[in-house]
Structure 1
Amino acid sequence: MTPELARVIARLAAELPPGHIEAWAHVLHGRRAPGADLEARLIEAGPGFAAGVAAARLTKAWREAVPRPSGEAVALALETGAVLHARHAGHQTDVVVSGPLGDRPAVRLTAAVVTGIVRDSRSALLVVSFAAFGVSEVVRELKDAATRGVRIDLVLESPRREGGALRGTGAATAFTALRDSATFWTWPARHRPAADGSAAALHAKLVAADDRVAFLGSANLTDRALGDNIELGVIVRDPAAVRRMAGHFRGLMRPGQGPLEPVPR
């Protein structure tokens, strides 16, 4: 297969919907060469989605390929490319933002991402935040997740009077409705290093579900951070990376060894 034909197939495998790939593969099977009717047959099999331009690109590249592969080979390459693209897309990261959008709005919004991850969870949720306030929709989704049997661990910063870094109330106050259905974790002052009279802070922001998908970014779990502030983060769909993130906190939670401790109910 020539480099140009391979490039065209790879691009089409990424651009075409799965139904088009299947329909076009059916047309290609049994053809020894790209006949005069191929382009029309492809458009007929998968209309719309700029099908005319895509069909013309594939037909031209196949016709000019030297040596010229069979239709079965072209179909197999197209189907294989689609499978690999779908697998890769499933592990891709997306940009997540809060606040005003710029002139390139191909991003996800923080509030929608956080609630979506919680809503889609099935077995375990790890929520880590420095500050928390309001976020009634997130709390509601967490309560629904608990009702489904999802295990929820909330790792939250404490107020200064308890050795934390937050002024006023601690982040756990926002999740009072979950006191009986989630495990709250704290970083006690005795386990925190201090320098120049100031203790270290629990500053991470993470929402991870089922060791499968996670949101990692600058936004705290506050109404301002999820909606109005200029915040930036990513949604990670690589299970290996998510397992490492969650595993780091599980290590910090290890009884008798980690610095984090569960808050008694």
Structure 2
Amino acid sequence: MCDRLPVDQIVVLERTFETITSPGDPVLSRIIAAQPAAGLGYQLTEITRAWRTEAPGMTGAGLALALATARSSPRPRPAQVVISGPMSASLPARLTSGVAMDVIRSANGSLLIASFAAHGARGVVAEIGRAVDRGVRVDLLLEESTQAAAAFAALPDKVRVWHRVGTSAVLHAKLVVADRHTAFLGSANLTDRALSDNIELGVVLRDPHVVEPLVDHFRWLLAPENNVMRLG
């Protein structure tokens, strides 16, 4: 319930629970019946059932304290949808170009960027350059057969460019990862058309429990002893 409701609504529920004497209080029944959000009445009914069967002697103040504790516990931020191309009113989303640059700006120590193709994308390239200027370590994982590295030729030599070790398979991943906290994954290559005009889809992940294993996997790919990627 804390994951689906805004904080101010949770606080209102906490204050309401403080006035309730027991799970059989008629005030609680009226609150459940008045909930407009789909499924919220059911959730409150289940809470009431557990209250009645597991802790019937607890007051509403105790339930309010439990809810406040759940509300204050750190919770992962939900994934954010990202698109390129036409935007409809049905999907709350952000455009790929702006999100890619935002993620790059958020890096303090490291950037992992992968793309099958790259062309133009001057805004992204400039943002990578600014990240290098503030001391961020940048690793670019690029598909060699598409000559993607040419798009980043203006970046300083300290930017490391990686290609697949000789194989018939290609590097097809597209991602931008800042440090170990934020990852942007999607279908878009780092090209002008993919970042703006093509119909593309992606997500931004800000849960470190999800992002950190992803970073560890790509760092494993870059380790020389694993013979998967080589410096270009």
Q: TM-score, normalised by structure 2?
A: 0.75
Instruction: Give the CA deviation at 1:68.
Output: 7.7
For residues 97 and 65 of structure 2, what CA distance do their matches in structure 1 show? Answer: 41
Instruction: Give the CA deviation at 1:117.
Output: 0.9
Does structure 1 retain, via aligned residues, the 8 Å contact 2:143–2:163?
Answer: yes
Residue 76 of structure 1 pairs with residue 48 of structure 2: no
For residues 202 and 155 of structure 2, what CA distance do their matches in structure 1 show? Answer: 26
Q: Tell me the alpha carbon deviations over residues 179-216 of structure 1, each in whole angstroms, 9 at most, x when there is no partner.
A: 334111123xxx3223xxxxx32211111111222111
Does structure 2 retain, via aligned residues, the 8 Å contact 1:14–1:81?
Answer: no
The correspondence of residues 162-241 of structure 1 with structure 2, limited to 5 A, is: 165-166=145-146, 170-187=147-164, 191-194=165-168, 200-241=169-210
Q: Residue 93 of structure 2 is aligned with which of 107, 111, 121?
A: 107
What amino acid is aligned across from residue 153 of structure 1 in structure 2?
Answer: D
For residues 156 and 123 of structure 1, what CA distance do their matches in structure 2 show? Answer: 21
The corresponding residue for 1:45 is none
Instruction: Give the CA deviation at 1:127.
Output: 0.3
Residue 118 of structure 1 pairs with residue 104 of structure 2: yes
Does structure 1 retain, via aligned residues, the 8 Å contact 2:129–2:156?
Answer: no
The correspondence of residues 1-265 of structure 1 with structure 2, limited to 5 A, is: 10=1, 13-14=2-3, 16-19=5-8, 21-22=10-11, 25=14, 29=18, 32=21, 67=56, 69-83=58-72, 87=75, 89-90=76-77, 92-158=78-144, 165-166=145-146, 170-187=147-164, 191-194=165-168, 200-263=169-232
What amino acid is aligned across from residue 109 of structure 2 in structure 1?
Answer: S
What amino acid is aligned across from residue 229 of structure 1 in structure 2?
Answer: N
Does structure 2 retain, via aligned residues, the 8 Å contact 1:251–1:258?
Answer: no
For residues 16 and 93 of structure 1, what CA distance do their matches in structure 2 show? Answer: 16
Superposition CA RMSD, Å = 3.4
For residues 100 and 149 of structure 2, what CA distance do their matches in structure 1 show? Answer: 17
For residues 143 and 174 of structure 1, what CA distance do their matches in structure 2 show? Answer: 12
Instruction: Give the CA deviation at 1:120.
Output: 0.9
Q: 1:78 to 1:253 in 2, by over 3 A?
A: same
* Runs of at least 5 residues in structure 2 that lack an aligned partner in the other structure: none
Does structure 2 retain, via aligned residues, the 8 Å contact 1:28–1:74?
Answer: yes
Larger radius of gyration: 1
Instruction: Give the CA deviation at 1:125.
Output: 0.7
SS in 1 for 2:153: helix
For residues 134 and 13 of structure 2, what CA distance do their matches in structure 1 show? Answer: 42
**How many positions carry a matched residue from both structures?**
217
For residues 60 and 226 of structure 2, what CA distance do their matches in structure 1 show? Answer: 61
* Runs of at least 5 residues in structure 1 that lack an aligned partner in the other structure: 1-9, 40-51, 159-164, 195-199
Q: Tell me the alpha carbon deviations over residues 201-236 of structure 1, each in whole angstroms, 9 at most, x when there is no partner.
A: 221111111122211111000111011101112222
Does structure 2 retain, via aligned residues, the 8 Å contact 1:97–1:109?
Answer: yes
